[in-house]
A and B are shown apart, each in its own frame.
Chain A
Amino acid sequence: MAIKDYLRQRFFPHMWCPGCGHGTVLNSLLRAVEELGIEKNDIVMTSGIGCSARISGYVDFHSLHSLHGRALAFATGVKLSQPKLKLLVPMGDGDALAIGGNHFIHAARRNIDITAIVMNNKIYGMTGGQYSPLSGVGKKATTAPYLTIDNDFDVVELAKAAGATFVARTTTFHATEATDFLKKAIMHKGFSVVEILSQCPTHYGRKNKEGDAPQMVANYDKITARLGSKKLEENPALIGRGIFVDRQAPEYCEEYDKIIEYAMKGRK
């Protein structure tokens, strides 16, 4: 199947701004699904609110456009009732870690078989460029005209500490790498998190003088380095890119089935 067969083409061109990284994330994700050869009917995508959440309207899978920050809660419900389906949950940085911060850490703690994709553009784009928990210190936003003073979350460290069993980070510059990580995340049994740095040229880029979309994408190559590479060793201030965690642990739905069997004491 071609990539376009996974799209609801009647909704194109999409509503994202020119040069928005979320389109590239969609592109990489569809390639991952296509290369894995998963049937459209076996995938459920749930999303919350925000620019990133609009992705669920563009894919021809089962889709749920749910409440702000609650995409993982909806996904947990779907997964528990239909454990055979693959759950993909794309979220924005604010959606995943501010409004849905608790759902994020608790889904990771349970190790439920869901793939969370954090499309990190460091800003609330849809509502006009307010700073998010991933903006970091010293950034400009509509709600921080004199620069931010808030520290940011490290998604990878947070997911790791919360108990996610697959954690990776990449960027929209490294689109083939993103496809590769997404493939591994989708096939992973347990809670998997893939953080993809994604440019917002309209709000974040313009306010922080990071240039146009191609400049912002090219910048991702400069500020990141592959895990274990010499570049990262020589300059630890760079953002690490790669698979940080990949381990096996009891999965929530399987454990739930076991507890049902135990409670029923073998009765059917």
Chain B
Amino acid sequence: MAKKKLKELVINRDWCKGCGICVAFCPKKVLELDKEDKSVAVRPQDCICCKLCEIRCPDLAIEVVIEPDKEK
């Protein structure tokens, strides 16, 4: 199985309340809270697309968009 590649980390800034759950549980420390206490992807190149942020986000504000597999 080929490694999943991140296309985009979509974060809905209107819905994010800055609880920091995504930041705390990201295994690769991709996310951080900015000055406005909203989640931002500061190191998207490190993302392994585990979707832990997406499934735990209480505000349903994060979506991990994965690059479609080209080999198929």
- Known contacts A12-B15, A13-B14, A214-B25; is-contact A27 B58 (Cβ 8 Å): yes
Pick the contact of B17 from A3, A19, A31, A218 — CB < 8 Å? Answer: A19
Query: How many angstroms from the CA of A24 to the CA of B21 in the assembled complex?
Result: 10
Is B42 interfacial (CB-CB < 8 Å)? no
Say whether A23 contacts B55, CB under 8 Å: no
- Please report B residues at the A interface, Cβ cutoff 8 Å: 14-21, 23-25, 55-61
Say whether A27 contacts B20, CB under 8 Å: no
If over half of A's interface residues share one DSSP class (helix, strand or loop), that class is named, otherwise mixed; here it is helix
Say whether A24 contacts B57, CB under 8 Å: yes
Interface size (A, Cβ < 8 Å)? 31
Residues of B within 8 A of A214 (CB): 19-21, 23-25
B64 vs chain A, min Cβ distance (A): 12
Residues of B within 8 A of A33 (CB): none
Query: How many angstroms from the CA of A14 to the CA of B56 in the assembled complex?
Result: 15
**Would you give the 0/1 interface string for A161-204, flagging 1 where the beta carbon is closer than 8 Å to chain B?**
00000000000110110010000000000000000000001000
Identify the closest chain A residue to B62 (Cβ).
A27
- Known contacts A12-B15, A13-B14, A13-B17; is-contact A20 B58 (Cβ 8 Å): yes
- Taking A17-B17, A24-B57, A217-B25 as known contacts, 6 extra A-B pairs with beta carbons closer than 8 A to each other, sorted by chain A number, are A4-B60, A13-B16, A13-B61, A23-B58, A26-B60, A214-B19
12 A-B contacts (beta carbon < 8 Å): A12-B14, A16-B58, A18-B19, A20-B19, A22-B58, A173-B56, A175-B55, A212-B20, A213-B19, A214-B21, A217-B25, A218-B24
Query: How many angstroms from the CA of A19 to the CA of B37 in the assembled complex?
Result: 12
Say whether B58 contacts A24, CB under 8 Å: yes
Is A28 interfacial (CB-CB < 8 Å)? yes
Is A21 interfacial (CB-CB < 8 Å)? yes
Query: How many angstroms from the CA of A28 to the CA of B55 in the assembled complex?
Result: 7
Query: How many angstroms from the CA of A30 to the CA of B57 in the assembled complex?
Result: 13
Identify the closest chain A residue to B54 (Cβ).
A27
Is A7 interfacial (CB-CB < 8 Å)? yes
Say whether B24 contacts A13, CB under 8 Å: no
Residues of A within 8 A of B18 (CB): 18
Identify the closest chain B residue to A23 (Cβ).
B58
Residues of B within 8 A of A179 (CB): 55
Query: How many angstroms from the CA of A24 to the CA of B56 in the assembled complex?
Result: 5
Find the residue from B15, B18, B21, B61 having the highest chain A CB count within 10 A.
Answer: B21
Residues of B within 8 A of A22 (CB): 58
Identify the closest chain A residue to B56 (Cβ).
A175
Identify the closest chain A residue to B20 (Cβ).
A214
B41 vs chain A, min Cβ distance (A): 17
Say whether A23 contacts B57, CB under 8 Å: yes
Residues of A within 8 A of B23 (CB): 214
Say whether A31 contacts B24, CB under 8 Å: no
Identify the closest chain A residue to B23 (Cβ).
A214
Pick the contact of B60 from A7, A172, A218 — CB < 8 Å? Answer: A7
Say whether B17 contacts A21, CB under 8 Å: no
Identify the closest chain A residue to B14 (Cβ).
A13
